[in-house]
Amino acid sequence: MDMNEIKEIFFQECEEQLAELESGLLRINDGDSDPETVNAVFRAVHSIKGGAGAFGLDDLVSFAHVFETTLDCVRSNKLQTSS
């Protein structure tokens, strides 16, 4: 397997992770306060960040890091998901 094939797999997995991310964010937006929903969103972002780092996609890594930090604040109740 060459690097292009591995990168293609990463992008396919990103599509799946983005679908999970979107689903979780929509549930949170609709008032879902289940901690597992936030954890699922965090895991999706974390997985994308890890793959992006492996391919030197530094802007995506930086964005995902900020996203993870925000989700950590939600998980520790320092930030609320609704007003």
Q: 36-70: per-residue pLDDT in tens?
A: 999 999 999 999 999 999 999 999 999 999 999 99
Could you tell me the residue ranges of all domains in the chain? 3-75
For domain 3-75, give its CATH number from 3.30.420.40, 1.20.120.160, 3.40.50.300, 3.30.70.100: 1.20.120.160
Q: What is the pLDDT of residue 1?
A: 85
Residues of the chain above pLDDT 70, percent:
99
With a cut of 60, say whether residue 83 has pLDDT above it.
Answer: no
Using 50, 70 and 90 to split pLDDT, how confident is the model at 12? very high
Q: Residue 71: is it exposed, middle or buried by C-beta count within 10 angstroms (0-12/13-18/19+)?
A: buried
